[in-house]
């Protein structure tokens, strides 16, 4: 459902989450700014994404992150539909990317969420959640029909994401491929494909 906190709309299926966010947003509003990326942000976004995934538990031990390269390739291919940054003072400390996905090999109004990154020293401050909610709000305003992601159900369920057998991502366990309709439409059915930038 859509709610409004401090004049901003966001998605949540949990009313208790609304109260918690009201308190957290008041703190974030003091010195945080969320905006669309600028060209001058590119290096900072690369740095944030690398550091956020440097010791990610899903990476093999000793493996170097590649998520920052995904963002770079999406941008080079004009496939970075939405790129938001979180700025504290004059320093960018968080970022989220959205890119188009295909359903059954055809263009859709659905988008992949991710990567989403926050500098390790600023994680657990609600910044990632705020980026996700603002990003989804922007997608709605752009006419998007839905969003998908590959991630931990326990974390992303708070935003309304859930596994749906109608949408599949080849090679990924169904419980980790999550979707969220952003309009009251019939759920599409079929195989989802991310942009090639994710696999180059």
Q: Are 3 and 10 in contact (CB under 8 A)?
A: yes
Confidence at residue 30, expressed as pLDDT on a 0 to 100 scale = 55
Q: What is the mean pLDDT of residues 31-50?
A: 96
Q: What is the mean pLDDT of residues 132-149?
A: 98
Q: What is the mean pLDDT of residues 113-122?
A: 97
Residue 156 has pLDDT above 70, yes or no: yes
Confidence at residue 190, expressed as pLDDT on a 0 to 100 scale = 98
Residue 62 has pLDDT above 60, yes or no: yes
Reported residue count of the chain is 200
Listed in sequence order, the DSSP H helices in the chain are 15-31, 42-53, 67-76, 127-141, 153-156
Confidence at residue 45, expressed as pLDDT on a 0 to 100 scale = 99
pTM, full prediction = 0.84
Q: Which residues contact 76 (CB under 8 A, 6 or more apart)?
A: 197
Q: Are strands 190-193 and 167-168 parallel, antiparallel or unpaired?
A: parallel
Confidence at residue 28, expressed as pLDDT on a 0 to 100 scale = 52
Residue 118 has pLDDT above 90, yes or no: yes
- Please give the CATH topology (third level) of the domain spanning 2-198: Aminopeptidase (3.40.630)
pLDDT in tens, 87-96: 999 999 999 9
Q: What is the mean pLDDT of residues 192-200?
A: 96
Distances (CA, A) of 33 to 27, 45, 175: 12, 15, 34
Residue 129 has pLDDT above 70, yes or no: yes
Confidence at residue 57, expressed as pLDDT on a 0 to 100 scale = 66
Which residue ranges make up each domain of the chain? Answer: 2-198
| Residue 31's pLDDT band (cuts 50, 70, 90) | confident
Confidence at residue 7, expressed as pLDDT on a 0 to 100 scale = 46
Peptide bond into 115 cis (omega under 30): yes
């Amino acid at each position: 459902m859509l709610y409004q906190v401090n004049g901003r709309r966001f998605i949540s299926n949990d009313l208790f989450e609304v109260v918690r966010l009201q308190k957290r947003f008041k703190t974030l509003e003091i010195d945080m700014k969320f905006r669309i990326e600028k060209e001058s942000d590119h290096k900072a976004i690369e740095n944030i994404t690398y550091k956020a995934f440097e010791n990610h538990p899903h990476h093999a031990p000793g493996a170097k992150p590649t998520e920052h390269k995904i963002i770079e390739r999406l941008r080079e291919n004009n496939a970075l539909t939405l790129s938001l940054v979180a700025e504290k003072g004059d320093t960018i400390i968080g970022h989220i990317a959205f890119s188009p996905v295909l359903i059954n090999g055809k263009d859709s109004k659905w988008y992949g969420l991710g990567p989403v990154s926050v500098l390790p020293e600023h994680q657990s401050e609600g910044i990632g959640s705020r980026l996700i909610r603002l990003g989804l709000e922007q997608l709605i305003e752009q006419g998007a029909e839905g969003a998908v992601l590959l991630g931990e159900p326990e974390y992303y369920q708070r935003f309304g994401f859930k596994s749906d057998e109608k949408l599949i991502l080849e090679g990924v366990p169904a419980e980790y491929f999550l979707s969220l309709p952003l309009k009251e439409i019939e759920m599409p059915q079929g195989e989802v494909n991310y942009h090639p930038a994710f696999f180059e």
